[in-house]
Amino acid sequence: MTDQLGALTTIFTEFYYWVTVVLMFLIHVGFCMYEVGASRYKHHQHTLMKNTMLIPLVTVTWFFFGWWIYWAFPTGPGLAPSIMNESAALITDESTFSAKWYAPNTEFMAINLGDHISGVFWAAFLLFSWTAASIVSGAIIERITTFAFGILAIAIGSVFWTIDAAWGWHFDGWMLKLLGYHDAYASGVIHAIAGGFALGVLIVLGPRIGKFTSSGEPRNIGPRNPWLVTIGLFLIYTGFWGFYAACNIPIYDVGNPDDYGLGKEYWTATNIYVTPTTLSGITMNFLMSLSGGLLAGYVIAKGDPFWTYSSGLAGIICASAGNDLYHPIQAMVIGMIGVVIAYKLHYWVERKFKIDDAVGAVAVHGYAGVVGLIICGFVLNGYPSSGYSVGAMWDGSTYASINPLGQLIGAFIMFVVLGLIPGYILAKILNGMGKLRIPRDVEIAGLDYEIMETAKEDEKAVSAATK
């Protein structure tokens, strides 16, 4: 950096993403509080540690291969040519945004005076990875082994979500070109895939002991500490602000010859697809979709705090696919629709298929995300999916416009192809190894039994010594 204005722009962008990472950390704090609040006393510490240890596991694997996958896989490979090198192979050449620069042994994956952006961008995406894994974590509490969860967290956090991000979130992604896929704030690329993955695992894992009666009727195992759940969800809302900011580029000249080539400078904030939006507008939409979710959730759950708070989250998730362009009232109504469908589907699936989703994660993230993608296809029908070009569906060399069919197919890819199926297969493998579920006697006694027993002995010893 040798000129002051260029340095200011670069350092501002670096600091911008740095702040989003710090804010997004609150999502994980919230998830930890939420899970501890939702689990029973005898499982608390293991529940907390399970969710905590996904941080290092996903982080190190994101460093080793997750980030590389994002930059290597936009073409499929083999589904649509890259606009950078016109090849449909993995992007590992010498081009500017090639995965070659993001292999763990390159000089850009470290402190490098010539690169102020890669690290914070890496970290912002990593925080998305934690979120994807943490969504799965809540659904499967009290009966999965920490080992199995670690493997599943790495799979969703450092492999499958990053593949879907390369396909449907990268500016060069094949889903934009062939389908006109649009998902500005990750209804699908984070939430639908994580919800689908959780469902795939739950099918194999089975319900908690006592969840269903002998005749198959579900029993409610409500949150042990609703106040911890409340604070947890407030923190997740807070972190979601950072998530929204992190999905944008804060200041960018889309008129640059290397981009749209407008023939004039046009500085703007952009979404992840490098198409214009404003931080101001998305802030309104964030709050209006949160409000829509809360309003609908309060009514449909009859004021139950657990579901009302979760519905606020589901409202945002449902509107997120198009919140870069929606009117705030559209965002609110879409949030309401998503909540009603997700809530109804949760209880229908629970009764019909005996699925025990302990925190409603499949509904709040998966179903609301899928509904949001589909609605986006209708409301934003005809908008360009990219600024680089506009073309027909299935063309491949240009970018299709946003459309209902493309969004429907995209939702299927996110929830089923990259979510449910991998989750199911991996859970089957782990189950076959005898590593998926904790023994029945441990589940009954409580994962924390020995910890609690030791603490009680310590208490007695200290008490005896002080008499």
Partner 1 sequence: MATVTNWIDHLSADEVVGAVYPGAGSSETLLVILGIVIWIGWHVITARSESEELSRLARKKHGANDHKNNITDW
Residues 329-388 that bind partner 1 (CB under 8 A): none
How far is residue 236's CA from residue 238's CA, in Å, rounded to a whole number? 5
Binding to partner 1 by CB under 8 A, coded x per residue (else -) over 56-75, reads -x--xx-xx-----------
How far is residue 145's CA from residue 268's CA, in Å, rounded to a whole number? 47
Contacts of 208 (CB under 8 A, 6+ apart): 142, 143, 221, 356, 358, 443
> Which CB atom, from 89 or from 442, has the smaller least distance to partner 1?
442
How far is residue 124's CA from residue 115's CA, in Å, rounded to a whole number? 16
- Dig out the tokens for 151 from the structure: 């493997």
> Which CB atom, from 2 or from 215, has the smaller least distance to partner 1?
2
Q: Is 394 left (phi over 0), alpha (psi -120 to 50) or beta?
A: left
Query: How many of the other CB atoms lie within 10 Å of CB of 458?
Result: 10
Rule CB under 8 A: is residue 234 a binding residue for partner 1? no
Q: How far is the CB of 64 from partner 1 (least distance, A)?
A: 6
227 with 447: CB under 8 angstroms? no
Q: Is 69 left (phi over 0), alpha (psi -120 to 50) or beta?
A: alpha
Residues 242-271 that bind partner 1 (CB under 8 A): none
Number of residues engaging partner 1 in binding (CB under 8 A):
41
- Dig out the tokens for 97 from the structure: 């945004």
3-state SS, residue 277: strand
367 with 194: CB under 8 angstroms? no
Contacts of 110 (CB under 8 A, 6+ apart): none
- Tell me which of 425, 432, 456, 461 binds partner 1, using CB under 8 A: 456
How far is residue 38's CA from residue 227's CA, in Å, rounded to a whole number? 10
- Tell me which of 87, 106, 238, 431 binds partner 1, using CB under 8 A: 106
Q: How far is the CB of 155 from partner 1 (least distance, A)?
A: 13
- Which span (81-89, 139-147, 227-235, 272-280) binds partner 1, by CB under 8 A? 139-147
Rule CB under 8 A: is residue 104 a binding residue for partner 1? yes
DSSP string, 49-66: HHHHHHHHHHHHHIIIII
> Which CB atom, from 122 or from 367, has the smaller least distance to partner 1?
122
Rule CB under 8 A: is residue 444 a binding residue for partner 1? yes
Rule CB under 8 A: is residue 115 a binding residue for partner 1? yes
Rule CB under 8 A: is residue 449 a binding residue for partner 1? yes
Rule CB under 8 A: is residue 459 a binding residue for partner 1? yes
- Tell me which of 7, 78, 93, 112 binds partner 1, using CB under 8 A: 112
- Which span (242-250, 271-279, 356-364, 444-452) binds partner 1, by CB under 8 A? 444-452
Rule CB under 8 A: is residue 455 a binding residue for partner 1? yes
Rule CB under 8 A: is residue 145 a binding residue for partner 1? yes
Binding to partner 1 by CB under 8 A, coded x per residue (else -) over 37-56, reads ----xx--------------
Binding to partner 1 by CB under 8 A, coded x per residue (else -) over 391-430, reads ----------------------------------------
Q: Angle 175-181-183 (CA atoms, 0-180°, nearest 5)?
A: 120
- Tell me which of 119, 168, 328, 446 binds partner 1, using CB under 8 A: 446
Rule CB under 8 A: is residue 221 a binding residue for partner 1? no
- Dig out the tokens for 417 from the structure: 């192809």
> Which CB atom, from 58 or from 198, has the smaller least distance to partner 1?
58
Rule CB under 8 A: is residue 93 a binding residue for partner 1? no
Binding to partner 1 by CB under 8 A, coded x per residue (else -) over 146-175, reads xx--xx------------------------
3-state SS, residue 253: strand
Q: How many residues does the chain have?
A: 467
How far is residue 17's CA from residue 123's CA, in Å, rounded to a whole number? 8
Query: How many of the other CB atoms lie within 10 Å of CB of 110?
Result: 11
62 with 119: CB under 8 angstroms? no
How far is residue 238's CA from residue 116's CA, in Å, rounded to a whole number? 26
- Tell me which of 3, 107, 337, 358 binds partner 1, using CB under 8 A: 107
Rule CB under 8 A: is residue 105 a binding residue for partner 1? yes
DSSP at 101: G
Which spans of this chain sit near partner 1 (rule: CB under 8 A)? 41-42, 57, 60-61, 63-64, 104-107, 110-115, 145-147, 150-151, 435, 438-442, 444-446, 448-450, 452-453, 455-456, 458-459, 462
